[in-house]
């Protein structure tokens, strides 16, 4: 499109390395009681027959209930501010509120540290088996862990549902370690994300170091990991456990040039801090880091030199520098982090070095190696090495039409992506039965209050142990209440009874179809992008300000509106359904034209900005398989985004066209960039 480079266009992900927050902030102001199908049929797509309305999600509000709602919201805020006196006063006004378990929870939470065990257990007993009871128990377990009250901690942990809270899990191991147990094997599985360690995991690490369960080599590995993840606090604490300067460790993360100027040091820990600083420096100046490593190479032990080159290689890989492969060669023998292993494999993929791909994936720890992406690429590497039977065995492990790597694996096995046979439609009785679940009713109340996070927690709790038929019924209940995000997420949990019309809904077709047709856009691709962007929450708003179904940024909306002649555009129009789809679809068309018709490049541009997409394409020296290009997109958020959009689009095409589809064909081949820059 002519003249697109005349205006500076803010990409959605406009800060370097920023991660676009999931679209989940704004919610329905009120959950409708029983909206009939919000999923108009797309030509060629299967539809679910209409059925009578189910029981209302909530009773109509009156003046008294609105006052109670207002008091409840004030109570929630008082609890968040730890204002126990105000929380108690507000809770006293809500003796019979529909969310009674949460009234008790918010009354108790601000004084959880001072409350007696009997009082807390009484609340837990009163609401036993509910989501809020588990939330209260988790909060209390954290307080007990901080206080090292292991008797009460052990007692409560025994009655808890399986907790995914990292701090609780670290405290649980700390409690066992305090009793003299050897827990290092389990601890290794937890201590993999320093930014999330907090007090519990930091205390666990200190305990294991003091008792000799955590070796110096493992502490050094933790120091490398903390530096790689920009975790200054954990870096300080780990340095102290190693007997090194915590100030210098913090400088290595935050101001690496200062840390490097101090020299490499004399102890093993000091040299590791220097190597962390070297890796951090490489993120901003690869050339300076290489010069420094060459200069000090003779002062480092062979393994330390290899670690230094691994740190440099990672930084080079993230910017797709052509020297990355050589730096990985120099890093041979270094103990690698998982992030380094992944990028070593990705750089080998870009070079077509399948032998190194296979060796690198084979060397990954089993939890990482068993992820579907690495299973797929290992299969590809085996196939290139002549191990076809081993490759097919790996493909069969992950082959499914549901996701990116599963679809690619299907194609390697000679199958295309098709819509699986649908489950029998759920009955009205089945929908009404799940609608009566207390947690589901509480979820609907939270949605009506605009509290999506709490609503999702209750929804997930209500559906955690449902049968597949019940999950389909809950998904249909969500559809009837115009909550397509809950419909999709709930339906995705079935394994044998599948309903792809629930998983891949196509609402607002009366607007989207003519808009896409007028722009000659692939409707399946547009729906695939919307599904990823907003899960069809029409008033969704991201953490960086993107709005609506297609998550259009205000600056982008203004720019596109000017380009298409929408003269009366104002930012508030981004939440208007028709305007949002019009602007989003036109922007998709612009980035598609600017990227030679490649949906892969256009999808990356939609998420990360046209300039970044151009940069990633610009480093290509020869045509590259689309799947390899996607795998090596430097931003993890954009890499995941593109995978999901392209997989979604393939499934939508199978639904709409009712014929087998090829994800590989959709990904195509990415060619080096030529010609004008186009979009800014």
pLDDT digits (tens, 9 = 90+) for 615-646: 999 999 999 999 999 999 999 999 999 999 99
Supply the DSSP string of 274-285, one letter for each residue: HHHHHHHHHHH-
Q: Per-residue pLDDT for 593 more than 90? A: yes
The SS3 call for residue 535 is coil
Residue 336 backbone dihedrals phi, psi, to 5 degrees: -100, 145
The arithmetic mean of pLDDT across residues 117-127, rounded, is: 96
Residue 615's H or E segment, with its range, is helix 610-618
> Which band of pLDDT confidence, cut at 50, 70 and 90, is reported for residue 538?
confident
Of the candidates 553, 648, 548, the one whose C-alpha atom is nearest the C-alpha of residue 13 is 553
pLDDT of 11 reads 40
The arithmetic mean of pLDDT across residues 101-126, rounded, is: 96
| Widest Cα–Cα separation across the chain | 79
- Whether the CA torsion 409, 411, 416, 417 is positive or negative: it is positive
pLDDT of 56 reads 55
Share of the chain above pLDDT 70, in %: 90
Higher pLDDT, 23 or 171: 171
pLDDT of 540 reads 80
Q: Per-residue pLDDT for 290 more than 90? A: yes
Supply the DSSP string of 140-196, one letter for each residue: HHHHHHHHT-HHHHHHHHHTSPPP--HHHHHHHHHHHHHTT---HHHHHHHTT-GGG
> Which band of pLDDT confidence, cut at 50, 70 and 90, is reported for residue 88?
very high
Of the candidates 368, 310, 301, 370, the one whose C-alpha atom is nearest the C-alpha of residue 335 is 310
pLDDT of 582 reads 93
pLDDT digits (tens, 9 = 90+) for 459-478: 999 999 999 999 999 999 99
pLDDT digits (tens, 9 = 90+) for 237-258: 999 999 999 999 999 999 999 9
Q: Per-residue pLDDT for 19 more than 50? A: no
Higher pLDDT, 47 or 674: 674
**CB-based contacts of 100, cutoff 8 Å, min separation 6:** 94
* Rounded-to-5 percentages of helix, strand, coil across the chain: 65, 0, 35
Q: What is the DSSP letter of 669?
A: E
Output b/e per residue, 102-130; b: 16+ Cβ within 10 A: bbbbbbbbbebeebeeeebbebbeebeeb
Distance CA 509, CA 527 (A): 10
pLDDT of 159 reads 87
Neighbours of 598 (CB within 10 A): 22
Cβ(474)–Cβ(463) below 8 Å: yes
Write down the residue that tokens 């006004």 correspond to: 93
Distance CA 510, CA 49 (A): 19
pLDDT of 679 reads 56
The arithmetic mean of pLDDT across residues 418-425, rounded, is: 94
pLDDT of 105 reads 98
> Which band of pLDDT confidence, cut at 50, 70 and 90, is reported for residue 64?
low
Of the candidates 54, 51, 45, 58, the one whose C-alpha atom is nearest the C-alpha of residue 502 is 45
> Which band of pLDDT confidence, cut at 50, 70 and 90, is reported for residue 321?
very high
pLDDT of 61 reads 60
Distances (CA, A) of 129 to 138, 160, 161: 13, 10, 9
The arithmetic mean of pLDDT across residues 115-133, rounded, is: 95
> Which band of pLDDT confidence, cut at 50, 70 and 90, is reported for residue 675?
low
> Which band of pLDDT confidence, cut at 50, 70 and 90, is reported for residue 313?
very high
pLDDT of 40 reads 33
**What rounded mean pLDDT belongs to the chain?**
90
Distance CA 39, CA 32 (A): 15
Distances (CA, A) of 548 to 97, 517, 536: 33, 21, 9
- What predicted TM-score, i.e. pTM, was given to this entire model? 0.89
Supply the DSSP string of 364-429, one letter for each residue: S-HHHHTSHHHHHHHHHHHHHTT-HHHHHHHHHHH--TTSHHHHHHHHHTT--B-PPPPPPPPPHH
Residue 262 backbone dihedrals phi, psi, to 5 degrees: -75, -10
pLDDT of 542 reads 78
> Which band of pLDDT confidence, cut at 50, 70 and 90, is reported for residue 12?
very low
The arithmetic mean of pLDDT across residues 449-453, rounded, is: 94
The SS3 call for residue 516 is helix
Q: Per-residue pLDDT for 226 more than 60? A: yes
Cβ(564)–Cβ(592) below 8 Å: no
The arithmetic mean of pLDDT across residues 96-116, rounded, is: 96
């Amino acid at each position: 499109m002519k003249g697109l480079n005349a205006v500076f266009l803010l990409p959605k992900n406009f800060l370097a390395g920023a991660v676009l927050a999931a679209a989940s902030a704004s919610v329905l102001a009120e959950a409708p009681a029983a909206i009939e199908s919000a999923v108009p049929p797309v030509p060629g797509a299967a539809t679910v027959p209409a059925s009578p309305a189910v029981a209302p999600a909530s009773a109509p509000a009156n003046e008294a209930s609105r006052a109670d709602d207002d008091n409840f919201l004030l109570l929630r805020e008082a609890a968040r501010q730890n204002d126990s006196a105000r929380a108690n006063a507000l809770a006293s006004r809500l003796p019979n509120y529909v969310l009674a378990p949460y009234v008790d929870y918010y009354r108790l939470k601000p004084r959880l540290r001072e409350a007696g065990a009997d009082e807390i257990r009484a609340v837990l007993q009163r609401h036993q088996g509910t989501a809020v009871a588990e939330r209260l128990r988790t909060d209390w377990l954290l307080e007990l862990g901080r206080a090292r009250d292991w008797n009460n901690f052990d007692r409560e942990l025994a009655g808890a549902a399986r907790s995914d809270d990292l701090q609780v899990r670290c405290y649980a191991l700390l409690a066992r370690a305090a009793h003299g147990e050897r827990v290092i094997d389990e601890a290794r599985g937890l201590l993999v994300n320093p930014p999330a360690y907090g007090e519990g995991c930091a205390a666990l690490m200190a305990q294991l170091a003091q008792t000799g369960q955590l070796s110096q080599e493992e502490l050094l590995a933790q120091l490398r990991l903390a530096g790689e993840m920009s975790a200054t606090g954990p870096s300080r604490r780990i340095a102290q456990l190693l007997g090194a300067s915590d100030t210098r460790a913090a400088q290595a993360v935050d101001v690496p040039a200062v840390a490097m100027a101090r020299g490499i040091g004399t102890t093993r820990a000091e040299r590791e801090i220097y190597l962390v600083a070297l890796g951090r420096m490489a993120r901003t100046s690869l050339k300076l880091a290489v010069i420094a490593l060459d200069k000090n190479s003779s002062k480092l032990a062979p393994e330390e030199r290899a670690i230094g080159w691994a740190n440099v290689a990672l930084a080079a890989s993230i910017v797709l520098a052509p020297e990355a492969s050589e730096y990985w060669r120099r890093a041979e023998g270094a103990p690698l982090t998982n992030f380094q292993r992944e990028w070593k494999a990705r750089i080998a993929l870009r070079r077509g070095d399948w032998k190194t791909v296979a060796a690198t994936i084979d060397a990954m720890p089993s939890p990482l190696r068993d992820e579907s992406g690495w299973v797929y690429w290992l299969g590809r590497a085996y196939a290139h090495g002549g191990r076809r039977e081993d490759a097919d065995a790996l493909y069969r492990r992950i082959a499914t039409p549901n996701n990116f790597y599963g679809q690619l694996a299907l194609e390697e096995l000679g199958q295309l992506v098709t819509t699986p046979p649908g489950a029998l439609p759920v009955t009205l009785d089945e929908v009404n039965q799940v609608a009566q679940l207390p947690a589901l009713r509480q979820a609907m109340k939270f949605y009506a209050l605009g509290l999506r996070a709490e609503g999702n927690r209750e929804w997930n709790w209500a559906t955690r142990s449902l049968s597949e038929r019940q999950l389909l019924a809950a998904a249909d209940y969500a559809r009837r209440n115009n909550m397509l995000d809950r419909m999709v997420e709930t339906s995705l949990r079935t394994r044998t009874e599948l309903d792809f019309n629930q998983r891949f809904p196509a609402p607002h077709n009366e607007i989207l179809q003519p808009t896409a047709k007028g722009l000659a856009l692939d409707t399946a691709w547009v729906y695939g992008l919307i599904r990823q962007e907003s899960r069809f929450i029409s008033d969704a708003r991201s953490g960086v300000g993107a709005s609506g179904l297609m998550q259009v940024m205000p600056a982008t909306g203004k720019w596109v509106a000017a380009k298409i002649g929408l003269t009366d555009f104002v930012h508030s129009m981004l939440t208007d359904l028709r305007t949002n789809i019009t602007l989003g679809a036109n922007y998709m068309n612009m980035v598609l034209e600017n990227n030679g018709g490649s949906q892969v490049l256009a999808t990356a541009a939609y998420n990360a900005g046209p300039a970044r997409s151009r940069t990633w394409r610009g480093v290509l020296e020869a045509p590259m398989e689309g799947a390899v290009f996607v795998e090596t997109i430097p931003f993890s958020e954009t890499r995941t985004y593109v995978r999901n959009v392209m997989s979604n689009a393939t499934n939508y095409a199978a639904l709409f066209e009712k014929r087998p589809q090829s994800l590989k064909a959709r990904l195509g081949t990415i060619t080096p960039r030529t010609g004008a820059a186009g979009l800014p």
